[in-house]
Amino acid sequence: MNEEQGQYLKQEQEHAWLIRARILSFDADPGDGDTPRDGSVVYHQDGALWWADGRIQGIGDYRDLAPQLPADVSVIDQRDKLIMPGFIDSHVHYVQLDIMASYGRQLLDWLNDYTFPEECRFAQRAHADNMAEAFLKELMRVGTTSAQVFCSSHPNSVDAFFSASQRRGLCMLAGKVLMDRHAPAALTDQTLGGIRDTERLISDWHGTDRLGYSVTPRFAPTSTRAQLDAAGGLLRNDGSLWLQTHLSENLGELDWVAELFPESRDYLEVYEQSGLVGPRSTFAHGIHLDDGMRKRLADRSANIAFCPSSNLFLGSGLFDRRAAQDIGLNLTLASDIGAGTDLSGLATLKAGYQVGQLLGQPLTAWSGFHALTRGNAISLSLDDRIGRFAPGMDADFVVIDLSASPLMARRMARCESLAEELFTLMMLGDDRAIFETWAGGRLQHRRQD
């Protein structure tokens, strides 16, 4: 951050602020059609977002809001930019930032050859601190202001991540990986030792500032039944906790789960039997599910995290979004780096569109940007605080430059509607389109030109 940004940052909490810009937010799900459902899109061509003390005070047309403003409000004129609520990533591994783009493996070999050796490095607190900072900096550069994050199995890695998030004033969910078998000794817990570590982390971090704890069994093959049951016990004792894990990503994984848990009729039942399936649970992937499993997840209001760039990178399969939606299953959108190829929500939308095209179910820009903001917030039960613009909500937002590259500027000049502009953004946009990222009312990132 340069000196000018430092000044900006120092002033921001002493002031009420207003940005004048084009503003887009969603009050309801726009649906999958080319035209958004009535009342779902809130758009102000000459809009204003006013905030103070980290909270939104007002949102609307500039000319309506201007007369109500306090005298000391600082006005930032960004009429050539588009503002949206900060993007949300429902499933990402901060400890895998440095193994993105590791060649030539599918899930189980990728875990053994690249992922587990990398996660061993997080035994060192200094390494975890450096990586947490690097990861958050990258997140801010791509406009993602909240995420549900896997740490490693070392409690240190969670302390490092939450401390760095707290310093920046971010809303983040995270947890220590629970893993008591089928991984290197340096990564495996004692079955109940991992649970005790989790309890300590919950008591230190859950509900502190804008942070929440997600109980994090890695996936069925790396936890014994005893550890999964104990994780379920934590959720039963405290209904405010979240749960994150992986489900049905890869065919080899499915066979292995069937071998390890012969008492369960399918992969999902392994988690059901341990009490891990509920409205605050997010299961990454869920590619190889039948309608019966989709229905069981939907009946418990559980979430699937659709991670398209990861699914393509690991060759895991094509996620059938339509089948999930037809059954009423909650979907979230996620990068899943290090298997994902890009941290950017825009890139996740692009990959989601491409996967959709291969299945004859293209993702509209309305549906995509809703999912990235209010949709993910609702699924993660964070919608009382983030994901949408309304007075009282947290001031987390991204300032987007729709003409960030010469090519984008050319293509945008041809657009005749907001829908076309948004689709162009999701296909051609990248970190250059993120002009500024604000979270908790604080400037977290400004693009260096």
Q: Which chain residues interact with Zn ion by CB under 5 A?
A: 284, 336
Is residue 218 involved in binding ligand GUN (CB under 6 A)?
yes
Residues in region 340-379 near ligand GUN by CB under 6 A: none
By residue count, the chain amounts to 449
Tell me how far, at minimum, the Cβ of 334 lies from ligand GUN, in Å: 10
Which residues ranging from 56 to 75 are in contact with ligand GUN (CB under 6 A)? none
Please say whether the beta carbons of 366 and 419 come within 8 A.
Answer: yes
**CA neighbor of 421 nearest in space, from 404, 439, 436, 397:** 404
Segment contacting ligand GUN by CB under 6 A, of 107-115, 156-164, 183-191, 387-395: 107-115
Applying CB under 6 A, among 159, 197, 272, 336 the residue interacting with ligand GUN is 336
Is 115 an interacting residue with respect to ligand GUN (CB under 6 A)?
Answer: yes
CA distance 442 to 19: 13
Distance in angstroms (rounded) separating the CA atoms of residues 335 and 302 = 19
Closest CB 364 distance from ligand GUN, rounded Å: 26
In three-state form (DSSP H/G/I as H, E/B as E, the rest C), the secondary structure along 188-251 is CCCHHHHHHHHHHHHHHHCCCCCEEEEEEECCHHHCCHHHHHHHHHHHHHCCCCEEEEEECCCH
User: What string marks each residue from 239 to 258 as x (binds ligand GUN by CB under 6 A) or -?
Assistant: -------x--x---------
Cα 435–Cα 439–Cα 443 angle in degrees, nearest 5 = 55
Select from Zn ion, ligand GUN, none the partner in contact with residue 119, using the beta carbon and a kind-dependent cut-off of 5 to 8 Å: none
Q: Rounded to the nearest whole angstrom, what is the least distance from the CB of residue 351 to ligand GUN in the complex? A: 14
Q: How big is the site for ligand GUN, counted in residues (CB under 6 A)?
A: 11
Asked if 118 interacts with ligand GUN (CB under 6 A), we say no
- Three-state DSSP at 260 gives helix
| Alpha-carbon dihedral 117, 118, 124, 129, rounded to 10 degrees | -170
Is 339 among the residues that bind ligand GUN (CB under 6 A)?
yes
Phi-psi region of 415 (alpha: psi -120 to 50; beta: other; left: phi over 0): beta
**Any contact of residue 213 with ligand GUN (CB under 6 A)?**
no
Tell the smallest beta-carbon distance from residue 135 to ligand GUN (Å). Answer: 15
Binding site for ligand GUN (CB under 6 A): 93, 107, 111, 115, 218-219, 246, 249, 310, 336, 339
